[in-house]
Chain A
Amino acid sequence: MTGIPGPGPGAGAPEEATRADGAQKVLEIADLTVDFVTEEGIVHAVDHVSYDVYAAETLGVVGESGSGKSVTWLAAMGLLRRTSAKVTGSVMMGGRNLLELSDKDLRPIRGSDVAMIFQDPNTSLNPVMTVGDQIDETIRAHGRASDGSAARTRTIELLDLVGIPDAKARCRQYPHEFSGGMRQRAMIAMAIANDPKILVADEATTALDVTIQAQVLEILEIARQETHAATILITHDLGLVAELANRIVVMYAGRVAEIGYCEEIFRMPAHPYTEGLMGSIPVMGGEPRRLQPIPGQPPSLIHVPSGCAFHPRCARSAGRSACSEQRPFPVPVGPDRESACHFWSELIPASSAAPLSSTTDG
């Protein structure tokens, strides 16, 4: 019942549950669109986005502010329901479209099948409840513990796992008695309490100092190994993605720019925007070279440029009418690789893009 016409070849073959390498698909976002109605006009926050999530992978979702990377997941989790947002498309998990579930049916999924960790643990933890009680509550809400003491035992176990020293005593403390890094650990403990299938970390370490970030990332990795959950790493930090992600979705102006394996995207971007991002970040090795920034500003999501949203800033679009007239939707450009650029073949040589057939056998 998705009202919007499909964008053509979107997220690969929708029917398959496993990838060529045997990875299980756990969630499928198809043609997701989120519009916010405002006084100034309609904000196209997420614009026909399609991508899949596979079991146990770390999927990096990268983009700058306003690229729609977080809103995608807020919509998927039904967290935009009582807002002005208009959500269409589908988010399939376990044979059900999460967007069509009632709040009652969605509740057991939120926090259990899919858990989210947000940037600011100050606003995601309840300040007037002890940390232990909050985690107990999460466990009991999903019926994972028979009584309070069983829940508490599990809570202590979880806090221990995320490296909170003296977990038993720490349970009785309030969030303000925890440091920023400790709070984020508690958030992770809460998120993995019910063995989620998907763990969404939305800029989860952005507010932390480098040495604390390293600690939290290590905990996230431990949590992923413990739960075998797919981890969605939503971030603007290409460094984080390079270190942790298996696959990457690059977003721009509410749209998918490209999707692919981490190493391949860093080695050979298939979208000029990704190329621009890579040129913009200072590298750590060698003599610093002059940065190659993307010219101009990110577009307004109310007045998204015609055709390719990136074309006004794209060096490769100069004088090409296709870029300003036709919107490029993501097309397969290699094994498990998609690009939403009309001229992707100029970016990745034919040799690396050749065996398209391998994506379709199942």
Chain B
Amino acid sequence: MAEPTPNGGASAAPASEPLLRIEDLVVHYGLGGGPFKRSDRRIRAVEGVSLSLWAGETLGLVGESGCGKSTIARAVVRLLEPNAGRIIVGGVDIAHLNRKAMRPVRRELQMVFQDPYGSLNPRLPISEIIAEPLKIHGQYKKGTGRARVEEVMSLVGLTSEYTKRYPHQLSGGQRQRVGIARSLALNPKILILDEPVSALDVSIQAQVINLLEDIQARLGISFLFIAHNLSVVRQISDRVAVMYLGHVMELGSRSQVYAQPAHPYTRALLSAAPVADPSVKGARQRIILKGDVPSPADPPSGCVFHTRCWLREQLDNPDRCVTEVPVLSDAAGTGQSVACHFTEHTGQAIRPVVPARSPLPTTAAAQ
């Protein structure tokens, strides 16, 4: 069995085998051409992604809409079947397992969805919603079943007065707690969290983030945490993968990705995210990318980011970006992998994205 790495200790020597290993995953969606014509156009949602999730760690997956991050989540829990690649859990490739064979795997691998309104059955009371996975897996025993439901409810901070309530009687934050409680019922090793706090107000979002951190500290579960909010991902992740148009552009520890982003896309993304600190206003250099994200149905050749890349422009538009797909590699051997032909240039091109905090700002407005 893999040794759980303590939360935050991603740099510690990892156990020999990750809990979850995704290898060269490819997921395409058909673009249905209507009843009378077949379409060959396909949405290339995930194009050869490899990631590992180690015991006890949180791997954050960030990127903008359409980058494929949620598709990865859905492929891993097998809500859809990948076109190619392997998804290895406990030594078994689950990429093409049938429903029956997936069943024992699902016990290890649970998912929490973004929308706490749509993902809970409105006709069931909370206790039934949480008991459901136990019942499906034949683990709801008379006598102990209810105790288990109450145990996971208290784990997520829901008192027993909620057992009889229905989803519509709960607030968004409480519903998300129910979603988390349900995912914990079977005592999984891995939680796949797809935008779990995006629909929540900030004050409630903070409660749920803290809850997730506590659960991980207590149970040693691994999280694959998917979100578009950069600061939320930074808060909770040990390692971070940045995705763009179906590819991982950069992968590294939290501090590597956020403090020394090496891919020009990561740099742009970080510089574009609003920072809730007026004292750094103006001190930050913002890279504003041109244009929109290209359609995943017709992704650019070579590096998928080349059509919007500021670095390529600075380097006088080298052809290599258009002709050759950059491989995600850890050239410097620091554990930070980047998929860019010109990584060595990223660092010098612009100043650090988040400069050291200035001492107490002198407010001109107050004078």
Stretch at the interface among B29-37, B201-209, B335-343: B201-209
Determine if B274 is an interface residue (Cβ-Cβ < 8 Å). Answer: yes
Do A267 and B360 touch across chains, with their CB atoms under 8 A apart? Answer: yes
Q: Which residue of B234, B274, B280, B288 is within 8 Å of A282 (Cβ)? A: B234
Do A238 and B202 touch across chains, with their CB atoms under 8 A apart? Answer: yes
Do A238 and B276 touch across chains, with their CB atoms under 8 A apart? Answer: yes
Give the number of residues in B that approach A within 8 Å (Cβ atoms).
51
Q: Tell me which residues across on chain A come within 8 A of B268, comparing CB atoms.
A: 211
Stretch at the interface among A80-88, A138-146, A291-299: A291-299
Q: Tell me which residues across on chain B come within 8 A of A237, comparing CB atoms.
A: 274
Q: Tell me which residues across on chain A come within 8 A of B235, comparing CB atoms.
A: 282, 288, 291
Do B277 and A179 touch across chains, with their CB atoms under 8 A apart? Answer: no
Complex CA gap A336/B363 in Å reads 13
Closest Cβ–Cβ distance, residue B300 to chain A (whole Å): 16
Complex CA gap A336/B201 in Å reads 28
Complex CA gap A336/B202 in Å reads 27
Q: Which residue of A lies closest to B273 (CB)?
A: A210
Q: Tell me the B66-112 residues at the A interface (CB within 8 Å).
A: none
Closest Cβ–Cβ distance, residue A333 to chain B (whole Å): 13
Determine if B121 is an interface residue (Cβ-Cβ < 8 Å). Answer: no
Determine if A281 is an interface residue (Cβ-Cβ < 8 Å). Answer: yes
Q: Tell me which residues across on chain B come within 8 A of A281, comparing CB atoms.
A: 202, 206, 231, 276
Determine if B366 is an interface residue (Cβ-Cβ < 8 Å). Answer: yes
Complex CA gap A267/B258 in Å reads 24
Q: Which residue of B230, B258, B276, B361 is within 8 Å of A263 (Cβ)? A: B361
Stretch at the interface among A122-130, A195-203, A240-248: A240-248
Q: Tell me the A264-309 residues at the B interface (CB within 8 Å).
A: 264, 266-267, 276-286, 288, 290-295, 297-298
Complex CA gap A291/B235 in Å reads 9
Complex CA gap A279/B235 in Å reads 13
Stretch at the interface among A46-54, A102-110, A152-160, A212-220: A212-220
Give the number of residues in A that approach B within 8 Å (Cβ atoms).
51
Per-position binary interface string of chain B over residues 164-176, scored 1 when its CB falls under 8 Å from any chain A CB and 0 otherwise: 0000000101100
Do A266 and B277 touch across chains, with their CB atoms under 8 A apart? Answer: yes
Determine if A64 is an interface residue (Cβ-Cβ < 8 Å). Answer: yes
- Given known contacts A242-B274, A282-B209, A210 and B363 CB-to-CB distance under 8 angstroms: no
Do B363 and A263 touch across chains, with their CB atoms under 8 A apart? Answer: yes
Q: Which residue of B lies closest to A278 (CB)?
A: B276
Complex CA gap A240/B90 in Å reads 43
Do A210 and B281 touch across chains, with their CB atoms under 8 A apart? Answer: no
Q: Which residue of A210, A291, A298 is within 8 Å of B272 (Cβ)? A: A210
Determine if B147 is an interface residue (Cβ-Cβ < 8 Å). Answer: no
Determine if A65 is an interface residue (Cβ-Cβ < 8 Å). Answer: yes
Q: Tell me which residues across on chain A come within 8 A of B357, comparing CB atoms.
A: 285-286
A-B contact count (CB 8 A): 150
Q: Which residue of B271, B272, B276, B286 is within 8 Å of A283 (Cβ)? A: B276
Do B65 and A209 touch across chains, with their CB atoms under 8 A apart? Answer: yes
Determine if B154 is an interface residue (Cβ-Cβ < 8 Å). Answer: no
Q: Tell me which residues across on chain B come within 8 A of A286, comparing CB atoms.
A: 357
Q: Which residue of A179, A212, A261, A282 is within 8 Å of B363 (Cβ)? A: A261
Determine if A22 is an interface residue (Cβ-Cβ < 8 Å). Answer: no
Q: Tell me which residues across on chain B come within 8 A of A238, comparing CB atoms.
A: 202, 276
Do B210 and A210 touch across chains, with their CB atoms under 8 A apart? Answer: no
Complex CA gap A278/B278 in Å reads 12
- Given known contacts A264-B365, A267-B360, A239 and B273 CB-to-CB distance under 8 angstroms: yes
Complex CA gap A293/B177 in Å reads 15
Do A209 and B278 touch across chains, with their CB atoms under 8 A apart? Answer: no
- Given known contacts A283-B231, A284-B275, A291-B206, A64 and B201 CB-to-CB distance under 8 angstroms: yes
Do B273 and A277 touch across chains, with their CB atoms under 8 A apart? Answer: no
Q: Which residue of A lies closest to B233 (CB)?
A: A282
Q: Tell me which residues across on chain B come within 8 A of A30, comparing CB atoms.
A: none
Complex CA gap A295/B206 in Å reads 10
Q: Which residue of B64, B234, B258 is within 8 Å of A210 (Cβ)? A: B64
Do B228 and A209 touch across chains, with their CB atoms under 8 A apart? Answer: yes
Do A280 and B273 touch across chains, with their CB atoms under 8 A apart? Answer: no
Determine if A99 is an interface residue (Cβ-Cβ < 8 Å). Answer: no
Seen from chain A, the residues whose Cβ lies within 8 Å of a Cβ on chain B are 64-65, 179, 181-182, 209-215, 218, 236-243, 246, 261-264, 266-267, 276-286, 288, 290-295, 297-298, 335-336, 352
Seen from chain B, the residues whose Cβ lies within 8 Å of a Cβ on chain A are 64-65, 171, 173-174, 201-207, 209-210, 213, 228, 230-232, 234-236, 254, 258, 268-269, 271-281, 286, 288-289, 292-293, 308, 354, 356-357, 360-361, 363, 365-366
- Could you give 5 example pairs across A and B, Cβ below 8 Å? A236-B202, A238-B202, A282-B231, A284-B354, A285-B280
Given contacts A65-B201, A209-B228, A261-B365, 10 further A-B contacts (CB under 8 A): A218-B288, A242-B278, A263-B365, A263-B366, A266-B276, A266-B279, A284-B230, A288-B236, A290-B210, A297-B174
